[in-house]
Amino acid sequence: MKKLLVFAAFLQFSTIAANAQVTESTITCRVIGSNDKTVVSLFQVKNGEAVKVASTKPDQNKIAFFKVSEQKEGTYFVVPAGSHGAIYRNAIYLKRGERVKLTGYIGTSMTMDFDSCKLEKPNLETQRLNKWLVKFADFSTARWKEKDSFDFYAEYKKLETFSADLTKVKTANSQYNAFLKDWINTDLHFLKAGNFFYFNISVKKLSYDSSAVVQPFYKSLNDTKILSTTAAFNSTRCFDMMKYVLSYWVYQKKLKPESPFDNTGMIANDNLKAFYLAKFFDRINTYEEFAKYVMPYKETFTNPELKDSYNKKYNALTKYAKGAPGLNFSFNDVNEKTYTLQDFKGKVVVIDLWATWCTPCRREKPTFMKIEEEYQGRNDIIFIGISQNKIKEKESWKKFVNENAYKGLELLDYQNQFTDFYNLAGIPRYMIFDRNGKVFTVDAPRPTTPEFKKTIEQALALGK
């Protein structure tokens, strides 16, 4: 009896171990045309975007190897670059325990995809997904290259027919069937809404495909259900689709949003709201902006990745918040005299973060100096230029300051303490600290705008 029990236990353990081994998938890519600088990256589609999960250099046999321990089925891209582009023809729908092999050919084109890619015995799900990706890529390429002769409406109708035929035939994998339908619908919504704006909503004066004769074509975009589920997360064009659909709704409702954040309320699904907001985190430079635009939707950040993104942004911005202690810098001027923020306690401190190599900085500097002159004679305010030039540029910075007759206090932050502490993406940047060395704003308007001086006056009025 004991032997039987031991054997049963051994059999159960062996089965568990075997299952544990099977759940690990692998992707082996032979890279034709690679060299010692080639880097191959693996991207996984997560929450509506392709996220890099691994990078490696091909070995001496030109093989790039990846292990995937993900317990769920998923979509992956293998690309000979460090970043993922917008349009790819070759995806892998990876199942647990699969051993995928492919050959990628690096050509002379500037795309981030392989010039061609051959999968060995791809599963049915991968074949069907790639049929769509190739069709979408061909459509998008033709739309761009043949824009003068391309009949978008007729070709879109053909694309719809193709997608209907593709999704009509179901696989035995019900999860995949829903996934493919979601991916395709998201792409189709993106194309339709994008075409209404001629695929450009980044300009101030938008152009619209607003002739009455084609408006029935766009009618389906009015369906609010488009943004009522997380179906769009299954496509890498989730965010682009959302931007264009929301812009279309804004147009239809004749709204005039001041920023993309004003559109958040039109998104019915909470996870999509959080995803949309997180995509604009790079536009938020102050705690006050975060509190205004994002914190009202804090409860929507339930997705682990998005919740982590929220927390990181919140934690980073608390040191930018109005009333937070300012960075007590310690920098030298052109005469090697050291100054700190605490040296100016009792004064409003107006800071210009600049560098000699920064053209926009130099354009703003004369106006900054002119405004500084307007406050001469007051003992409750000081203007300071803090250069982000490197230590090796120290002498050229001194020469530049003297030759241009910068009369105000100019300091050198050669270690970029300000840009690192306040997580700044670029310069010029203008900051104002109150009389107690606390943040008034770390993102003041530029001197060439009327708002700059107004902000200074507001800081001077504080605590009077």
Q: Would residue 389 be called left, alpha or beta, if left means φ above 0 and alpha means ψ between -120 and 50 degrees?
A: beta
Among 338, 377, 331, 373, residue whose Cα is nearest residue 353: 331
Give me the number of domains the chain comprises: 3
Q: Which residues of 272-291 are buried (b: 16+ CB within 10 A; e: fewer)?
A: bbbbbbbbebeebbbbebbe
- Note the pLDDT of residue 82: 63
135 part of a folded domain: yes
Average pLDDT over residues 43-52: 91
Residue 14 is predicted with a pLDDT of: 45
pLDDT at 22 over 70: no
pLDDT tens per residue, range 252-263: 999 998 899 999
Please, which pLDDT band fits residue 18 given cuts at 50, 70 and 90?
A: very low
- Assess contact for 217 and 192: CB atoms under 8 A: yes
Pair 317, 286: CB distance under 8 Å: yes
How far apart are alpha carbons 273 and 434 in whole angstroms? 36
What is the helix (H) or strand (E) element at residue 65, kind and residue range?
A: strand 63-68
For the beta carbon of residue 244, count every other beta carbon within 10 angstroms.
23
Give alpha helix (H) positions in 391-443: 394-403, 417-421
User: Quick one: 186 and 263 in the same domain?
Assistant: yes
Same domain, 362 and 384: yes
CA distances from 70 to 51, 169, 179 (A): 14, 28, 17
Name the domain boundary from 284, 318, 352: 318
Q: Are residues 63 and 177 in the same domain?
A: no
The answer to the question of residue 286 being in a domain is yes
Say which CATH number the domain at 78 has.
Answer: 2.60.40.180
Tokens read off for 222: 């009015």
Above 70 in pLDDT, residue 17? no
One domain, residues 140 and 96? no
Same domain? For 115 and 134 the reply is no
Distances (CA, A) of 274 to 34, 185, 402: 40, 21, 50
* pLDDT over 70 (residue 19): no
Is residue 325 a part of any domain in this protein? no
> Would the pLDDT of 309 be above 80?
yes
Residue 84 lies in a domain: yes
pLDDT at 422 > cutoff 90 = no
205 shares its domain with 310: yes
Q: What is the mean pLDDT of residues 384-412?
A: 95
Overall average pLDDT of the 298-306 stretch: 94
Say whether 43 sits in a helix, a strand or coil. Answer: strand
Q: Which domain holds residue 448?
A: 330-461
Same domain, 263 and 299: yes
Residue that finishes a domain, picked among 285, 318, 351: 318
Q: Is residue 158 part of a domain?
A: yes
Bridge partners of 371?
Answer: none
Query: Are 300 and 220 in a shared domain?
Result: yes
Domain membership of residue 1 (yes or no) is no
Mean pLDDT, residues 399-421: 92
Residues 300 and 358 in one domain: no
Judge whether 421 and 331 are in contact, CB under 8 Å: no
Separation of alpha carbons 80 and 117, rounded Å: 11
The pLDDT of residue 83 is 63
Spatial distance between the Cα atoms of 391 and 32, rounded to a whole number of angstroms: 44
Amino acid (one-letter) located at 114: F
190 assigned to some structural domain: yes
Q: Are residues 51 and 67 in the same domain?
A: yes
How does pLDDT run across 224-245, given as a tens digit for each residue?
A: 999 999 999 999 999 999 999 9
Q: What confidence score (pLDDT) does residue 316 get?
A: 81
| 36 and 91 belong to one structural domain | yes
Q: Which two tokens stand for residue 225?
A: 């259900």
The rounded mean pLDDT for the chain is 90
Check whether residue 143 and residue 284 sit in a common domain.
yes
The conformational region for residue 234 under phi > 0 = left, psi -120 to 50 = alpha, else beta, is: alpha
* pTM, two decimal places: 0.73
- Boundary residue ending a domain (283, 318, 353): 318
Residue 10 lies in a domain: no
